[in-house]
Structure 1
Amino acid sequence: MAVARTESVFKGLALRLVAILCLSTMSALIKLAETRGATLVETMFHRQLWAVPIVTAWILMGPGLGSIRTARFGAHLTRTAIGLTGMVFTFGAVLLLPLAEATTLQFTVPIFATLLGALVLREKTGWHRWGAVVIGFAGVLIVAQPGSGQFPLFGAVVGLLAALFVAIVAITLRQIGKTESAGTTVFWFSVLSLPPLGVAYAFQLQSHDWLTWANLIAIGIVGGVAQLALTASVRFAPVSTVIPMDYSSLIWGTFYGWLIFGAWPTPWTWLGAPIIIASGLYIVWRERVLHVRNTEGASDAAAS
C-alpha cells in the first residue's frame, strides 16, 4: 500500500514538472510570436482556441461529454471574466519583461493568496505567514529595484497584477470546485473565452508566414497540455507536495531567455528570486502544518 502511495506521489510530481515545462515553453512561444508580429489578442485567442480540442479529447477519454453539464453557468462566466483579465496581465508580463524576471514575479502567487485568504475569505493568518508575506515583498523590491531604471516599472506592475489574478483564480476555483469537476471547469473556461476574444481578434486580423501560424497553434496546444497536466498532478499528490516543483520554471525561463533571446537575469534577480521562493515555500509549508494539526484535532475530537 505504501509503495502504491509513493508511486502515486512520484506520478504527481512528474506531471507537475511536465506542466511547468509546458508553461515555460508557452511563455517563450508567446514572446517569440510577438517578435514575428503577432499581437497580444492574437496569442490569447489561439491559446484558447487550440486548447479546446485537447481538453475535449481528455474529457471524452475520461468521464465523457455528459460531465460538462452544469447548473452553475454563472459561476463559470465569472471564472472566465477573471481568467481572461489575468491572462492579459500574464501574457503582458511575458511580452514586457525578460522571461526570467516575468517568471520570478509569478512566484509571488502564494503571497497574494495569503493576503486574499485573510482579507476576502477571513481566513485566520498568524504572524508566521504575515512575516513570510513581508519578506516575499522585500524580495520583489530587490528584483524590481524601483527608481533605479534598470527594471521596467510598468512591466513589474503588470507582472505583479498577473500573480494577483492567478491567486484570485485559485480562490474562485476553490469555490467552484465544491460542485464542479476540474474537466468541466477547464472546458467552460476555454469555450466561454472564445467569443470575447474572437470579437477583439476580428479587429486585428492580419496575415503571417507559416512559421508564425505554427507558433500560434503551438501556444494553444502546449498551453492545453500544461493545463491538463496541472489538473492531473493534484489528483496523484497533495497540492503542498507538488507546488515546490513550480519553481523549476525559473530554470526554464532563464534557459529560454538565454537560448532564444540572448537575455540573462540581472544580479538583483539572482538575489531577490531565492527570497521570494523561500517566502512562498514557507507559506506552503505552514499551510501544510496547520492542515495536519487541524486534521489531527478533528480526529481526536471524533475519537473522544
Structure 2
Amino acid sequence: MSERAVSTGVAMESGHWRGIVFMLLGTALFTFNDALGKWMVASVAVGQLLFIRSATALVVLLPVVHRAGWRKVFVLHQPGQHVLRLAFIVAEVFCFYLAVRHLPLADVMAVYQATPLIVTVLAIPLLGEAVGWRRGLAVGLGFIGVLLVLQPDGGVFTTPALIALGGSVTYALSMVATRKLRETNSLSLIVYHSIAVGGVGLLTLPWGWEPVDLPGIGYLALIGVVATAAHMCMNQSLKLAPAAVVVPFTYTSLLWAILLGWLFFADLPTPLMLLGAGIIVASGLFVLHRERQIKAE
C-alpha cells in the first residue's frame, strides 16, 4: 500500500471517529433536553413549553440563517411534502411530552428506540422498498420488545403508553417524509421544525398556560438552546461520517435516559423493561446491519 493510500485511510478513519463523537454528543444533549422537558411539563402546559423552546431555538439560529443566506433557507421545494413532514413532527413532539409527563423517561425512550423498525415497515408501502425475511423477523421481535416495555405493570393499553407508541409512529412517519426531501438543506429542516412546533404551541395559549417566573422561563429557553445544539451536532456528525457508521450510536440515548431518570426523578428501570429495551436495540442494530449489507451488494 502506498504512503498516499495509508494517509487517505487514516484521514477517513479520523473523520469517522469525529462523526461518532458528534453523534454521541448530540444524542446526550437530546436526552438531557428530554429530561429537562419532563421536569418542566410537571408545572407548565406542553404547548407553552414548546412555544418558548422553539422561539429560543429560532433566536439562536438567526445568525446561522443569516450566514447561510435567507433565500437559501426559506426557498421551498415540494411544499406539500414539507407540510406533511411538519404535521408529523408537531404530533410527535406533543405525544412525547404528554407521555413523559406520566411515564418514566427511560420507558418512553425505550419505545422510541423502535422507530427504525417502524420506518422499515412504513418504507414498504410508502417508499416501495423491499424487506426480506431477516429484517421482517427482526422487526417482529422488536415489537415484542415494545410490548415488554409497555407492560411492566400489566397495563399495556394505558393512555400514556399508547401516546408514547403514537409518538414513535409519528416520529417514524416524519423520518419517511424527510427521506423524500433529500434536496432540502438540513438548516431549512431545523428552521421549519422550530416554526411549526412553536406556532402550534402558541395556538394552545387559551388552554391552560401557567404563569412562569423568570427562572422557569430560563429553563424553558435552555431547552431550546440544548435542542438546537443537539441538532447541529447530529448534522455535523452526518457530514463527517456515513449514516451507517454513526446512526447505531443514537441507541446510547437509552443509557442516558436510564441515568438521568434515576438522578432527576428516582426512576429505576424494571428487569422486564430492560429486557424489552435490549430486544428493541438488538433488533434495530440488526436491521441497520442488514441495510448496510444490502447497499454494499
TM-score of the two chains, using structure 1 as the length reference: 0.89
Who is 1:182 aligned against? Answer: 186
Give the direction of change, closer, same or farther, for the CA distance of 1:111–1:221 in structure 2 (3 Å limit): same
Q: Tell me, in whole angstroms, the C-alpha distance in 1 between the residues paired with 2:253 and 2:74.
A: 35
Alignment partner of 1:78 is 2:84:
yes
Who is 2:272 aligned against? Answer: 268
Q: Tell me, in whole angstroms, the C-alpha distance in 1 between the residues paired with 2:62 and 2:207.
A: 28
Who is 1:164 aligned against? Answer: 169
CA displacement 1:16-45 (0-9 Å, x = unmatched): 11111111111111111123x111111121
5+ residue gaps in structure 2? 1-7
Alignment partner of 1:117 is 2:123:
yes
Shift of 1:152: 7.1
Residue number among 178, 188, 196 corresponding to 1:173 in the alignment: 178
Give the direction of change, closer, same or farther, for the CA distance of 1:193–1:155 in structure 2 (3 Å limit): closer
Who is 1:207 aligned against? Answer: 211
Deviates further, 204-213 or 101-110: 204-213
Shift of 1:228: 1.7
Shift of 1:64: 2.8
**Mapping for residues 1-304 of structure 1, pairs under 5 Å:** 1-35=8-42, 37-61=43-67, 63-72=68-77, 73-145=79-151, 148-149=154-155, 153-177=158-182, 179-293=183-297
* Contact 2:20–2:246 (Cα < 8 Å) also in 1: yes
CA displacement 1:247-285 (0-9 Å, x = unmatched): 111111111111111110111111111111000000011
CA displacement 1:114-162 (0-9 Å, x = unmatched): 110112222111001100011101111222227724x672222111111
**What is the one-letter code of the residue matched to 1:137?**
F
Secondary structure of the structure 1 residue equivalent to 2:41: helix
Shift of 1:202: 4.8
**What is the one-letter code of the residue matched to 1:46?**
I
* Contact 2:53–2:198 (Cα < 8 Å) also in 1: no
Q: Tell me, in whole angstroms, the C-alpha distance in 1 between the residues paired with 2:197 and 2:39.
A: 23
* Contact 1:143–1:272 (Cα < 8 Å) also in 2: yes
Shift of 1:219: 1.1
Shift of 1:203: 4.1
* Contact 1:97–1:152 (Cα < 8 Å) also in 2: no
Who is 1:302 aligned against? Answer: none
Aligned residues: 289
Across the aligned residues of Structure 1 and Structure 2, the Cα RMSD in angstroms comes to 1.8
* Contact 1:133–1:279 (Cα < 8 Å) also in 2: yes
Q: Tell me, in whole angstroms, the C-alpha distance in 1 between the residues paired with 2:197 and 2:27.
A: 23
Identity %: 27
* Contact 2:26–2:230 (Cα < 8 Å) also in 1: yes
5+ residue gaps in structure 1? 294-304
* Contact 1:84–1:193 (Cα < 8 Å) also in 2: yes
